[in-house]
Amino acid sequence: MKAAVLIQRWYRRYMARLEMRRRYTWNIFQSIEYAGEQDQLQLSSFFSFMLDNVTQLNGSGPDLISQLLDPLVDPWLDRERCYDQIPVPESYAGPRLSFSSLRLGHERSARLCTPDMFCSCCTRPKKLLKQMPNIIHLSTSYVNDITICGDLHGRLDDLLLIFYKNGLPSAETPYVFNGDFVDRGKKSIEVVVLLFAYLLLYPDYMHLNRGNHEDHIMNLRYGFTKEVMQKYKTHCHEILQLFQDIFSLLPIATVIDGKILIVHGGISDQTDLDFLSSIERHKVKSALRFPRRSLEQLDIGQSSRQAKRMRLTDGSRPSSSRSQSKNQRNQLTPSLRKRQRGLNQQDSAASSSSSSSSSSSSICSPRTPSCLSPRPCPSSPSMPYTINVLQVPFLDSLSSVPPPAPPRHDREWKQIVDILWSDPKSQAGCSPNTFRGGGCYFGPDITQRLLLQHGLQLLIRSHECKQEGYELCHGGQVITIFSASNYYEEGSNRGAYIKLGRELVPRFYQYQVSRTTRKLTLTQRVRVAEGSALRALKEKLFSHRSELVTGFQQFDQNSTGRLSVSEWAQVLESVLRLDLPWRTLRPHLCRLTADGSVEYQSCFEDMSTGIPLPTVAPNLAETLFRYRTDIEIIFNIIDKDHSGLISTEEFRHTWRLFSAHLGVDIDDRAIDELARSIDFNKDGSIDFTEFLEAFRVVHKLDIKDQPLKCS
């Protein structure tokens, strides 16, 4: 009997430790994902900055960034059968599309659809989507069940498995796909073509909601734009513009029997379904770009007079800081002075918004794209920071103006941002979603208020990966459904879908697409996912090495190289802001001394650079590591002929803009020397593959574990 009790205790402790590892692995994956979405908001701000400072990066026509962010109306896309003008090679032997009967015989084929068939499959839904309302209303009176699927993210295998288990879309098996069809996965094009084809076949039984990744700016970072450019090199620009139009035409919500609301992200305290039904959704091409507002809409004359009075009464700024700021501005080029002022505004606005409890929807990036950023500003030194005003550039000074009532297009944008980006929380109320960077957090009281206001009983949303594929919260009034299995790593999570019958009781169906997971034990699956998460976290530490070392040294006044565990964890959280259990993760990240102190330099011992490069500027390599993904996106856009080569002049010009936007202090000499060092064969062009390899984090332990090759 005692032996059985001991075995039971050991087993319970073992499973508890395994569950702890599983949970912090999940937290690492999710925190890094949301941090990446904040980086995406900063990247979209950089693209806007490029449009303001450079007209053309290459060639005589407008560059791809301009086409994506400020697209012109292409008459080619408005033609009735524009896809007929795309030539098809006679040697093509891939799938042919017939809308009278659609078969799944070629979804796993390695051959791509031809550009004409691809555009045909996307142009026809465009006309259909134009006729659809913003909110689709469905009924279970004429069907047995309605199937609701969450994020797919380019996972074709998950989509095919859903069709295999649940049946193909038809009058007997209607579907609602709740956004995020593209990005991250490798088969986004195949997923979209298949969904659009069934939308054309069964427009009354196949329904697609818009997600936050049905956004051309998100596609730049998370893979869909790159996939289109690689698979359809000749006509990629036309196809990307076509998708930009189609994504903006997707409905934003679905209501079943007037009782079940389906949106991609969530809601806020400002969500109004009646207002959402009346907006012009096609005008919001991207939720990441704040609607433009001209300064003519503001009373600049009056605001400048107010600003002068405020400057006369404001004596809190030291004269030394004024002269220092003036000297810094004089060192900037005229085209960058305006941007520097905008960055200063944005940083102040970000700090003020983080302490505010306002629940208004916004893109809460540390660097807000818009220069019209709300910030508190006192009218006198004694007045508390209670009045919100706008700081706008006027001539060579900043003018303070009261915020005007938001025009209709601003309200439309905010409502769509909330629908696409928001997340539920357990606490009551509504607050900005600073962790993800956009939308808001809505509590159970916000959910209940909206449901009662519109006579609803349930909210179904997606947008968040869940380990079991679904999750219930807010007393069962909110359901999160996620349909991309193995989202972070092989075996990291299941996918799921919901079936709703006439009784409107949700039934959940789980699955996992994998060829190897079934052969692994639970311990092995947790170990694989944990290893992948820790690798990503260590790369995050390495990319912020200088900031972390500076923070460590503030506590280590005697330069001993040691800190207490609490101080070490405090620095990590203040720099990375990932909200992770650092004390629990400490054994995986650094060493302890005999007295229990942390050797903080050991955090970086297991990593090194891919290819050694000369040190041309302090922290330059670290900066490139940190923004490697962003630079890859920019370089792929610059490389229009997809040769993998860009000129050194293009590299210099782009990096100067990038460093100015980020506020990185790197002079032109360092940039030129870096360009020459990357140009390995000295032909005046940079091999981008070698560039990325140079700024890749190599894990030394992985190299040690590799078997030795016999010569």
Whether 463 contacts 266, CB under 8 Å: yes
pLDDT tens for each residue of 274-329: 999 999 998 888 888 766 553 344 443 444 444 444 444 444 434 434 344 444 44
What average pLDDT does the segment 159-177 reach? Answer: 95
What is the number of alpha carbons within 13 Å of residue 504 lying toward its C-beta? 17
- Predicted local distance difference test score (pLDDT) of residue 358: 42
Residue 641 pLDDT greater than 70, yes or no? no
Q: Which residues pair with 686 in a beta bridge?
A: 646
> How, if at all, do strands 440-442 and 430-432 pair?
antiparallel
pLDDT of residue 433: 87
Parallel, antiparallel or unpaired: strands 388-394 and 591-592: unpaired
| Tokens standing for residue 136 | 């689709």
Find the catalytic residue in 153, 207, 213, 463: 213
The pLDDT-based confidence of 554 (bands split at 50, 70, 90) is very high
Q: Are 155 and 173 in contact (CB under 8 A)?
A: no
Higher-pLDDT residue of 456 and 650 is 456
Q: Which residue has the higher pLDDT, 232 or 451?
A: 451
Average pLDDT over residues 582-587: 92
For residue 175, the cross-strand partners are 147, 206
Residue 224 reports pLDDT greater than 70: yes
Three-state secondary-structure class, residue 429: coil
Does residue 11 surpass a pLDDT of 80?
A: yes
Phi, psi angles (nearest 5°) of residue 137: -110, 125
Q: Largest alpha-carbon pair distance within the chain?
A: 88
Could you tell me if 488 and 464 are in contact, meaning their C-beta atoms sit under 8 angstroms apart?
A: no
Please state, for a pLDDT cut of 70, what percent of the chain lies above it. Answer: 61
Q: CB-hemisphere CA count at 13 Å for 410?
A: 13
At 460-515, the pLDDT tens digits run 999 999 999 999 999 999 999 999 999 998 888 999 999 999 999 999 999 998 76
- Token pair 């969500």 is at which residue? 271
pLDDT for 617 = 52
Q: Compute the distance between CA of residue 695 and CA of residue 619 in angstroms, rounded to an integer.
A: 13
Report pLDDT for 253: 96
Residue 488 is given by DSSP the state S
Between 577 and 48, the more confident residue is 577
Residue with the two structure tokens 């809308």: 99
Q: What pLDDT does residue 707 have?
A: 40
Cα 298–Cα 299–Cα 301 angle in degrees, nearest 5:
140
CB atoms near residue 330 (< 10 Å): 8
Q: Which of 33-42, 321-330, 556-565, 632-641 has the highest mean pLDDT?
A: 556-565
Q: C-alpha angle with apex 467: 465 to 472, nearest 5 degrees? A: 80
pLDDT greater than 70 at residue 581: yes
Region 385-390 average pLDDT? 44
Q: In what order do the strands lie in the sheet with 260-262?
A: 135-138, 253-256, 260-262, 458-461, 478-481, 470-473
Average pLDDT over residues 118-132: 82
**For the chain, what is the mean pLDDT?**
74
Q: The sheet that has 507-511: what strands, in order across it?
A: 206-208, 175-177, 146-149, 495-500, 507-511
Cβ neighbors of 127 (< 8 A, separation 6 or more) are: none
Per-residue confidence (pLDDT) for residue 10, from 0 to 100: 92
- Tens-digit pLDDT profile for residues 179-193: 999 999 999 999 998
Q: Specify whether 213 is catalytic.
A: yes
State the average pLDDT over residues 603-628. 64
What is the distance between the alpha carbons of residues 297 and 49, in angstroms, rounded to a whole number?
Answer: 22
**Is the model's pLDDT at 443 over the cut of 80?**
yes
Residue 144 has what pLDDT? 87
Write the DSSP symbol of residue 435: T
Question: Which has more confidence, 701 or 562?
Answer: 562
What tens digit of pLDDT does each residue of 129-159 get?
A: 999 999 999 999 888 899 999 999 999 999 9
Do residues 235 and 115 touch, judged by C-beta distance below 8 A? yes
Could you give the percent of the chain with pLDDT greater than 90?
A: 36
Strand, coil or helix: 711: coil
Single-letter code of the amino acid located at 153: H
- CA atoms within 13 Å, Cβ hemisphere of 281: 31
Beta carbons of 108 and 124 less than 8 angstroms apart: no
By CB atoms closer than 10 A (0-12, 13-18, 19+), residue 473 is middle
Dihedral sign from CA coordinates of 268, 270, 274, 275: negative
Specify the pairing of strand 388-394 against strand 478-481.
Answer: unpaired
SS3 content of the chain, % helix, strand, coil (to 5): 50, 15, 40
Q: Output 143-147 pairs: Cβ under 8 A, ≥24 positions apart.
A: 143/171, 143/172, 143/174, 143/205, 144/172, 144/501, 144/502, 145/173, 145/499, 145/500, 145/501, 146/174, 146/175, 146/176, 146/256, 146/499, 146/500, 147/173, 147/174, 147/175, 147/176, 147/497, 147/498, 147/499
pLDDT digits (tens, 9 = 90+) for 82-120: 545 555 555 545 555 554 444 444 444 445 666 666 677
pLDDT higher at 587 or 90: 587
For 248-273, the pLDDT digits (tens) are: 999 999 999 999 999 999 999 999 99
For residue 327, the one-letter residue type is N
pLDDT at 619 over 70: no
Q: Where are the alpha helices (DSSP H) in 273-381?
A: 273-278, 300-313, 319-331, 334-354
Tell me the two tokens of residue 123. 């142009």
d(CA 405, CA 411): 10
DSSP state of 438: B
- pLDDT-derived band at 574 (thresholds 50, 70, 90) equals very high
Neighbours of 443 (CB within 10 A): 18
End-to-end CA distance of the chain: 59
Q: What is the pLDDT of residue 91?
A: 57
Q: How far is CA 59 from CA 64, 330, 532, in A?
A: 11, 32, 41
Burial label for 27, CB within 10 Å (0-12, 13-18, 19+), is middle
Spatial separation of the C-alpha atoms in residues 59 and 242, rounded to whole Å: 22
Angle between helix 648-662 and 628-638 (nearest 10): 140
Within 8 A by CB and 6+ apart from 6, the residues are: none
Query: Tokens for 607?
Result: 């990593």
Higher pLDDT, 328 or 405: 405
DSSP calls for 563-579:
E-HHHHHHHHHHHH---
Local confidence band at 73 (pLDDT 50, 70, 90 cut-offs): very low
Per-residue pLDDT tens for 192-219? 989 999 999 999 999 999 999 999 888 8
If one compares 167 and 395, the residue with the highest pLDDT of the two is 167
Q: Which of 96-110, 524-538, 598-612 has the lowest mean pLDDT?
A: 96-110
Q: How confident is the model at residue 660 (pLDDT cuts 50, 70, 90)?
A: low
* Residues, the chain: 711
